[in-house]
Amino acid sequence: MFAVVFAVTGFLLGREAYLNVFSLHFASEALQWTFLVASPVAGALVGLLLAPVAQSLFEDELRVAEGAIERLAPGEIAGGAAGLIAGLGIALLIKSILFEFFTSTGRVGGYLAIVVYLLIAIFCAYLGARVGAKNRLWPTGNRQANGTANVAKVIDTSVIVDGRIVEIVESGFLEGVLVVPRFVLRELQAIADSVDAQKRMRGRRGLDVLSRLQEVRTLEIDERDYDDLAPGGVDAKLVRLAQERGAKLLTNDYNLNRIAHVEGVEVLNINDLSTALRPVVLPGEELHVHVIREGKEAQQGVAYLEDGTMIVIDHGRRLIGETTDVVVTSVLQTSAGRMIFARPRGNVATR
């Protein structure tokens, strides 16, 4: 198709070149016939030579456009198409005014009107598509049968490294599409390849968590990136991505949590969920614990609940290494977590 179009175009341009240029400068009938045949043939040959180059450029741009469309949500595509049509409609209205004005100046004015119209059409189509894509025709996210929004969740690196997301997904408490941005995968890969042994171990743990998560739920890899933001600004990119997709942000990062709230993005914090799910312990309740070490104060022992809550046992130093019953005396809730104070049950405290 490219070869045919370019060959025909070259043929027609070669003929026009003969009629408007060559025929005016040669009086010899032999030269006239030579250029009458040679000019269109030469134009067709040039068109055939240029066709593969034009086809290669077209295919490259087509792949870029296809990749850009694949990164868009359905609402963005629909909005962009509507904006594109509106932009072309506006350009068509401008064309009617331009042609009436320019064509009155003669043949050159008609050619100028065509060029100006093409520029305006490209500008209006591009502007309409960009504006339409930002103003989606419908909200992003799937709709369940009951009509409630099944909103996508954008996953941060901290959640992947933490690992508890696998158990949460398996339990069925985390619904919706799980989105892992490509720039998060690059950050995770960089951590896994770090020269620091501890960072390298965390990165590899994150990659293992991703593999386990893929077995439980299908993950969506979002390819979009934001070159206008700082190369290392993963937090800003996550917030922008969540805003564009109308998604929630899943993170354990305190600073990212605060930034997202300021930007109006809803955040799901696994640490907050863990704190909310800890069992309520009241003074006077009995607990069965294993004392593992001594406390900071004299005669204190320390034990832990299964969720990691620290229990400080008064007069519990002698019980280190033993499993015993203790009675809760008070509970202290701090920003760092919860701490329980207790004493041994019965006459253990009097030893």
Do residues 313 and 325 make contact, with C-beta atoms less than 8 angstroms apart?
no
Q: Are residues 127 and 154 in the same domain?
A: no
Which among 112, 134, 156 is the end of a domain?
134
Q: 268: closest CA among 344, 178, 346, 349?
A: 178
What CATH number does the domain containing 346 carry?
2.40.50.140
**What integer pLDDT is reported at residue 278 of this predicted model?**
72
- Confidence label for 142 from pLDDT (cuts 50, 70 and 90): very low
For residue 266, pLDDT over 60 is answered with yes
> Which range of residues forms the domain containing residue 305?
286-350
- Confidence label for 327 from pLDDT (cuts 50, 70 and 90): very high
Compute the average pLDDT of residues 301-319: 87
3-class secondary structure, 253: coil
Q: Are residues 115 and 147 in the same domain?
A: no
Q: What does the block give as tokens for 327?
A: 């009675």
For residue 27, pLDDT over 70 is answered with no
Q: How far apart are CA 65 and CA 80, in angstroms?
A: 13
User: pLDDT tens digits, residue range 147-161?
Assistant: 334 688 899 988 888
**What integer pLDDT is reported at residue 283 of this predicted model?**
87
By percentage, how much of the chain surpasses pLDDT 90? 5
Q: How far apart are CA 166 and CA 209, in angstroms?
A: 7
**Cα angle 260-264-269, degrees, rounded to a multiple of 5:** 45
* Weakest mean pLDDT among 20-24, 129-133, 171-175, 239-243: 20-24
For residue 136, pLDDT over 70 is answered with no
**What integer pLDDT is reported at residue 273 of this predicted model?**
81
Q: How far apart are CA 339 and CA 326, in angstroms?
A: 14
Torsion of CA 59, 63, 68, 74, to 10 degrees: 100
**What integer pLDDT is reported at residue 298 of this predicted model?**
84
- According to DSSP, the residues that pair with 9 across neighbouring strands are none
Report how many domains make up the chain.
3
In a domain? residue 281: no
What CATH number does the domain containing 212 carry?
3.40.50.1010
Q: Are residues 55 and 76 in the same domain?
A: yes
User: pLDDT tens digits, residue range 194-242?
Assistant: 888 888 888 888 889 888 888 888 888 888 777 777 655 788 888 888 8
DSSP letter at 195 equals: S
Compute the average pLDDT of residues 304-311: 82
Q: What does the block give as tokens for 314?
A: 């008064």
For residue 275, pLDDT over 50 is answered with yes
Which among 79, 109, 134 is the end of a domain?
134
Q: Are residues 263 and 306 in the same domain?
A: no
Compute the average pLDDT of residues 48-63: 85
In a domain? residue 264: yes
**What integer pLDDT is reported at residue 337 of this predicted model?**
65
Q: Are residues 103 and 28 in the same domain?
A: yes
Which among 111, 134, 157 is the end of a domain?
134
* Weakest mean pLDDT among 38-52, 117-131, 153-167, 172-186: 117-131
Q: How far apart are CA 31 and CA 23, in angstroms?
A: 9
**Cα angle 116-104-101, degrees, rounded to a multiple of 5:** 45
Q: Are residues 295 and 239 in the same domain?
A: no
**What integer pLDDT is reported at residue 147 of this predicted model?**
38
Do residues 183 and 225 make contact, with C-beta atoms less than 8 angstroms apart?
yes
* Weakest mean pLDDT among 13-17, 127-131, 148-152: 148-152
Q: Are residues 129 and 158 in the same domain?
A: no
Mean model confidence pLDDT for the chain: 80
**What integer pLDDT is reported at residue 176 of this predicted model?**
80
Q: What does the block give as tokens for 50?
A: 């240029």
By percentage, how much of the chain surpasses pLDDT 70? 82
* Weakest mean pLDDT among 63-67, 134-138, 324-328: 134-138
3-class secondary structure, 143: strand
Q: 155: closest CA among 229, 252, 228, 68?
A: 252
**Cα angle 268-269-272, degrees, rounded to a multiple of 5:** 125
Q: How far apart are CA 267 and CA 302, in angstroms?
A: 34
**What integer pLDDT is reported at residue 72 of this predicted model?**
65
